[in-house]
């Protein structure tokens, strides 16, 4: 699965600009679904029909990643920019970004990194991107162009580090679930959603169109296992986390208990997640139409919303095992 994770995480795809990563996912799932389509907003939806005896299930993992967008090019060719999603300024200086046309830029801050040592980090307006242009006219990108962070995946054995684990690792779980799921009673929609990082937009529109009976998001969650982390009962390597609550939703209690039961039946290690901030596609699915019983299967992840997000491959593998166990059996509570 590491090869798949490498392909997905290194792909370009900031919110609203998911075309390249969507094309990659389409190649990976070719022949694994009864129907594949792209909706008006850009969500990639792959349908497996099942035997007609189960429920309409929507699984969602978002394709997009955080990034930046050019707001101004000065006379010397330096780019000012704004956030796409939850970009964290302390992670920016010295990092490289990649534009859709292949242009690479370096982020720095006015007066340089050394001047900022020991001081309060300046606001985003003081940062710029250097693309090596000699002047404004020679800049290869302009206002409105989007960039994602540029970083190769590193294999640390049981653990892997890359940009965009949020949420390409969820996409990897869905793809691998499609590969391993041989038979299901349910009609399953595997949704690779867009624009999650800017407001759960893709999940909202796709859930409205699909009108599922049950929804499960697959996303990352924070951990409490780094030095002086805020207390949180989630660690790398102890299994995927079954969400109980986050800042945007309370998981459906029946679905949560079903996920726990399937994990215990299959001998799959799991953790329970209570996340004090943030939410996932499950929040949007839950409040669609008259409401949808929704939950979330989370991959523990360190250093979220940085260019070096870390997951444990064993948690990813066990997330796939649990998702297959859920889909192969009745979904009842």
Query: Could you give the residue numbers annotated as active site?
Result: 196
Q: Are 247 and 216 in contact (CB under 8 A)?
A: no
CA distance 191 to 215: 10
Closest by Cα among 101, 92, 233, 103 to 163: 92
Whats the size of the chain, residue-wise? 333
Q: Given strand 159-162, what is the order of strands in its sheet?
A: 154-155, 159-162, 309-312
Cis (ω within 30 of 0) for the bond into 292?
A: no
Closest by Cα among 293, 277, 304 to 169: 304
Phi, psi of 167 (to 5 degrees): -130, 40
HEC string of 260-318 equals HHHHHHHCCCCEEEECCCCCCHHHHHHCCCCCCCEEEEEEECECCCCCCEEEEHHHHHH
């Amino acid at each position: 699965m590491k090869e798949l994770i490498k392909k997905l995480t290194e792909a370009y795809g900031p919110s609203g600009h998911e075309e390249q990563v969507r094309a990659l996912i389409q190649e990976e799932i070719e022949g694994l679904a009864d129907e594949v389509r792209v909706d008006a907003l850009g969500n990639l939806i792959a349908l497996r029909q099942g035997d007609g005896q189960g429920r309409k299930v929507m699984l969602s993992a978002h394709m997009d990643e955080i990034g930046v967008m050019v707001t101004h090019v000065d006379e010397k060719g330096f780019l000012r920019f704004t956030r796409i999603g939850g970009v964290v300024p302390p992670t920016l200086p010295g990092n490289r970004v990649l534009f859709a046309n292949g242009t690479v830029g370096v982020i720095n801050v006015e007066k340089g990194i050394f001047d900022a040592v020991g001081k309060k980090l300046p606001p985003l307006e003081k940062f710029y991107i250097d693309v090596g242009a000699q002047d404004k006219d020679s800049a290869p990108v302009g206002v409105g162009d989007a960039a994602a962070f540029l970083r190769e995946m590193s294999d640390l054995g049981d653990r892997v580090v890359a940009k965009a684990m949020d949420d390409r690792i969820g996409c990897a779980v869905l793809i691998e679930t499609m590969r391993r799921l041989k038979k299901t009673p349910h009609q399953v929609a595997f949704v690779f959603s867009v624009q999650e990082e800017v407001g759960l937009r893709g999940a909202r529109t796709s859930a409205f169109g699909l009108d599922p009976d049950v929804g499960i998001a697959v996303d990352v969650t924070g951990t409490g296992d780094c030095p002086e982390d805020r207390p949180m009962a989630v660690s790398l390597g102890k299994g995927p986390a079954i969400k109980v609550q986050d800042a945007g939703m309370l998981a459906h209690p029946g679905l949560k208990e079903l996920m726990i039961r399937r994990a215990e039946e299959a001998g799959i290690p799991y953790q329970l997640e209570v996340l004090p901030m943030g939410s996932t596609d499950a929040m949007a699915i839950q409040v669609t139409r008259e409401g949808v019983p929704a939950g979330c299967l989370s991959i523990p992840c360190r250093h979220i919303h940085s260019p070096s997000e870390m997951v444990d491959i064993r948690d990813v593998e066990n997330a796939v095992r649990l998702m297959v166990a859920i889909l192969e059996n009745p979904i009842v509570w």
